[in-house]
Amino acid sequence: MFARGLKRKCVGHEEDVEGALAGLKTVSSYSLQRQSLLDMSLVKLQLCHMLVEPNLCRSVLIANTVRQIQEEMTQDGTWRAVAPQAAGRAPLDRLVSTEILCRAAWEQEGACPAPGLGDGHTQGPVSDLCPVTSAQAPRHPQSSVWEMDGPRENRGSFHKSLDQIFETLETKNPSCMEELFSDVDSPYYDLDTVLTGMMGGARPGPCEGLEGLAPATPGPSSSCKSDLGELDHVVEILVET
Amino acid sequence: MNYPDENTYGNKADIISTVEFNHTGELLATGDKGGRVVIFQREQESKNQVHRRGEYNVYSTFQSHEPEFDYLKSLEIEEKINKIRWLPQQNAAYFLLSTNDKTVKLWKVSERDKRPEGYNLKDEEGRLRDPATITTLRVPVLRPMDLMVEATPRRVFANAHTYHINSISVNSDYETYMSADDLRINLWNFEITNQSFNIVDIKPANMEELTEVITAAEFHPHHCNTFVYSSSKGTIRLCDMRASALCDRHTKFFEEPEDPSNRSFFSEIISSISDVKFSHSGRYIMTRDYLTVKVWDLNMENRPIETYQVHDYLRSKLCSLYENDCIFDKFECVWNGSDSVIMTGSYNNFFRMFDRNTKRDVTLEASRENSKPRAILKPRKVCVGGKRRKDEISVDSLDFSKKILHTAWHPSENIIAVAATNNLYIFQDKVN
């Protein structure tokens, strides 16, 4: 559990590395947890397409939550569009089936990375902690769906996904989904204290720590790398089916 | 308050999905997930058995809705009864509306204690007789028989809702009623089944823009032109049907400003209103959201006049409750006959009552283990932190699968019906 009430400027003294790291842990903890909430929400949106028509109220509330997270991530700068390098990986997009909701989850996996891609928002210690591989970059195009000036196609695809959430879809192949999201673990109890800890003055939640910091940075590189592995796995499944 | 008399009608195969007393309180109807309606009737109080004050016994059981399949969308339509609403009694028969996600039905429940005997063309078993064998004619006579209660569907109001019906409400004119789904509200005349009027439509032209749905709706108890509907964003709109045919523009808009210190990713979800009820007087409305019950004065739109915390200890658990979907549970709320007490359910088979005058509240539990017939219900307490006292239960021990979503209060007496999953509990107040 992260240390509570810890307010650290991200640009800390070199000697106080431990303190700085602890502060960073708070920050990336929050981002990770927020990311997890996003994952969870997207899974929920997808899994609600069973035999019976999905509960529209629930879907709307979850979709609104997703939007909120995305907006915050956009403001933080953790959800950014990436330029033309994307082109090489575009075919990946085609490989993904017309299951738009799978793509939605896809997109947020791409949201993980990259302070190092020249956005100018990085801070010293942080970028050291999260080295970026070029392989991660191409996953951004999908994420640009959330940007105002994102590629038209991607925006369309996301809107289409919400559209399909609200209009009734035919039952998707359930096993595909299960395989896709079998790795979404749920140690979400941590989320309780982090995310709901934003509420109420009594609890010094991560938000207060975050306000004093530069825009939140993505999680540690290890999760990015594992995402990459998952990506291949997922593509494999989809292509085979 | 003491609630000593308890009758448990358990072992229903299916989960109870709605509970409703009729206007006199003589009948209590329940609907379940299997599409069945069970009606209980209160025993007449007899002088011989003073201690048995009007218990409720099963009066009629019938299958209201069957599961259907929508071939166009390849989806099942559940037979679960979402709501039952009684019509006021106008003759010997009882009438109620029951609805599932798509279809509303008007049922007539009537007693038969005589039957005709002595038909000419039919024999005693009902088989047709060969007319050639009939040599004499007789007039059929009515003979007494064992009381039989039969339910017959008198009207079926179908094909008017694209989305799932969440509410039905009988108008005070007793000629019309409304049915509300996620995006639309329709007005029906009881006599006309092939046509309804759309009075509210919040469906956006582009479904991508959908961010808010209708969660509940109810007619004013006295003014037949007025109704309210609540939304998933925690707002209530009061509409006047005299203003225009399509009531997309509200007459009043009730919304409490958000508390910025309490803001989180779950703020909107927990503000979503799951139930809205007019007081019997028609002066107030009560709304239930995930953590609170609020009372609003119709004349004050900017904030509720009273807010009651149902289970605030869940506020720190919202993420877990989001994960297991409990945060989407739709709790109902009810007024007592005099509008002085309000009641709503919670988890662990707990339900809560708030006295609006004394500001006292109590938590009670509906469970077999903890109540014997005619035993007094013991108030329960949830321990939030620190040391747990002997009788208290800690938040982490709460059973979230045992939720009380549906309760009902007798219109004039202190008798309450509490649905705990597939068990129905009826509690009565002990006056002496």
Is the per-residue pLDDT at A120 higher than 50? Answer: no
Two tokens, residue B78: 């559940």
Element (H, E) at A82: none
Give the start-to-end residue ranges of the domains of chain B: 15-108+151-157
Q: Is residue A30 part of a domain?
A: yes
Is the per-residue pLDDT at B430 higher than 60? Answer: yes
Q: Report CB contact under 8 Å: A52, B232.
A: no
Point out the residue among B70, B210, B325 whose CB comes nearest to the CB of A166.
B210
Q: Report CB contact under 8 Å: A201, B77.
A: no
Point out the residue among A189, A198, A200 whose CB comes nearest to the CB of B320.
A189
Two tokens, residue B84: 């039952």
Identity (one letter) of the amino acid at B107?
W
Is the per-residue pLDDT at B400 higher than 50? Answer: yes
Q: Report CB contact under 8 Å: A53, B316.
A: no
Q: What number is the average pLDDT over the span A219-224?
A: 43
Residue B215 touches chain A, beta carbons under 8 Å: yes
- pLDDT bin (cut points 50, 70, 90) of residue A213 is very low
Distances B304 to B94, B298, B301, B351 between C-alpha atoms, Å: 37, 9, 8, 22
Is the per-residue pLDDT at A48 higher than 80? Answer: no
Cβ–Cβ under 8 Å, residues A199 and B315: yes
Cβ–Cβ under 8 Å, residues B97 and B179: no
State the average pLDDT for chain B: 91
Distances B305 to B29, B262, B295, B301 between C-alpha atoms, Å: 32, 20, 6, 10
Residues of chain A in contact with residue B70, where contact means CB-CB under 8 angstroms, are 53
- pLDDT for residue A49: 60
Residue B269 touches chain A, beta carbons under 8 Å: yes
Q: Is residue A25 part of a domain?
A: yes
- pLDDT for residue B253: 96
Identity (one letter) of the amino acid at A187?
P
Q: Name the residue with tokens 């191409």.
A: A138
Condensed to tens digits (0 to 9), the pLDDT of residues B250-279 reads 899 999 999 888 889 999 999 999 999 999
Residues of chain A in contact with residue B211, where contact means CB-CB under 8 angstroms, are 60, 63-64
Cβ–Cβ under 8 Å, residues B187 and B201: no
- pLDDT bin (cut points 50, 70, 90) of residue B367 is confident
Q: Is residue A34 part of a domain?
A: yes
- pLDDT for residue B234: 97
Rounded to two decimals, the ipTM of the complex is: 0.90
Element (H, E) at A61: helix A56-76
| β pairing state of B393-394 and B406-409 | unpaired
Report the residue of chain A nearest B212, measured CA to CA. Answer: A60
The region that residue B169 occupies, defined by phi over 0 for left and psi between -120 and 50 for alpha, beta otherwise, is beta
- pLDDT for residue B18: 98
Distances B219 to B95, B171, B185, B235, B338 between C-alpha atoms, Å: 18, 6, 12, 16, 19
Cβ–Cβ under 8 Å, residues B129 and B121: yes
Q: Report CB contact under 8 Å: A196, B319.
A: yes
CB neighbours of residue B412 within 10 Å: 14
Residues of chain B in contact with residue A201, where contact means CB-CB under 8 angstroms, are 261
Residue A210 touches chain B, beta carbons under 8 Å: no
Cβ–Cβ under 8 Å, residues A43 and A54: no
Report the residue of chain B nearest A161, measured CA to CA. Answer: B208
Residues of chain B in contact with residue A167, where contact means CB-CB under 8 angstroms, are 207
Alpha-carbon distance B235 to B301, whole Å? 10
First to last CA, chain A: 41
Q: Report CB contact under 8 Å: B101, A53.
A: yes
Number of domains in chain A: 1
**B431/B130: higher pLDDT:** B130
Condensed to tens digits (0 to 9), the pLDDT of residues B63-82 reads 999 999 988 888 889 999 99
Residue spans of beta strands (DSSP E) within chain A: none
Cβ–Cβ under 8 Å, residues B118 and B143: no
Residue A173 touches chain B, beta carbons under 8 Å: no
Q: Report CB contact under 8 Å: A196, B266.
A: yes
- pLDDT bin (cut points 50, 70, 90) of residue B50 is low
3-state helix, strand, coil in chain B (%, to 5): 5, 45, 50
Cβ–Cβ under 8 Å, residues B290 and B270: yes
Q: Is residue A179 part of a domain?
A: no
CB neighbours of residue A6 within 10 Å: 16
| Sheet containing B214-219, strands listed edge to edge, beginning at the edge strand earlier in sequence | B214-219, B226-231, B236-240, B252-254
**B432/B319: higher pLDDT:** B319
Alpha-carbon distance A121 to B153, whole Å? 68
- pLDDT for residue A108: 37
Is the per-residue pLDDT at B107 higher than 60? Answer: yes
* % chain B with pLDDT above 90: 75
Residue A85 touches chain B, beta carbons under 8 Å: no
Identity (one letter) of the amino acid at B136?
T
**A241/B85: higher pLDDT:** B85
Two tokens, residue A128: 């050291």
Report the residue of chain A nearest B319, measured CA to CA. Answer: A192
Q: Dmax over Cα atoms in chain B, in whole Å?
A: 91
* CA atoms within a 13 Å half-sphere pointing along the CA-CB vector of B282: 10
Is the per-residue pLDDT at B215 higher than 60? Answer: yes
Q: Is residue A33 part of a domain?
A: yes
CB neighbours of residue A150 within 10 Å: 18
Q: Report CB contact under 8 Å: B328, A196.
A: no
Q: Mean pLDDT check: name the lowest of B127-131, B136-140, B388-392, B415-419.
A: B388-392
Alpha-carbon distance A28 to A218, whole Å? 6
Alpha-carbon distance B335 to B363, whole Å? 16
Q: Residue A58's domain spans which residues?
A: 18-78
Condensed to tens digits (0 to 9), the pLDDT of residues B232-250 reads 999 999 999 998 777 778 8
Residue A65 touches chain B, beta carbons under 8 Å: yes
Q: Computed over its alpha carbons, how large is the radius of gyration of chain A?
A: 18
Q: Report CB contact under 8 Å: B207, A68.
A: no
Residue B163 touches chain A, beta carbons under 8 Å: yes
Q: Report CB contact under 8 Å: A61, B316.
A: no
Residue by residue, what is the 3-state secondary structure of A112-163?
A: CCCCCCCCCCCCHHHHHHCCCCHHHHHHHHHHHHHCCCCCHHHHHHHHHHHH
Cβ–Cβ under 8 Å, residues A203 and A101: no
Cβ–Cβ under 8 Å, residues A76 and A119: no
Residue B74 touches chain A, beta carbons under 8 Å: yes
Q: Provide φ and ψ at B67, rounded to 5°.
A: -65, 145
Cβ–Cβ under 8 Å, residues A40 and A177: no
Residues of chain A in contact with residue B318, where contact means CB-CB under 8 angstroms, are 192, 195-196
Count CB pairs under 8 A between chains A and B: 110
Point out the residue among B74, B207, B264 whose CB comes nearest to the CB of A198.
B264
Alpha-carbon distance B316 to B84, whole Å? 35
The residues in A 99-138 lying below 8 A from B, measured between CB atoms, are: none
Alpha-carbon distance A142 to A109, whole Å? 10
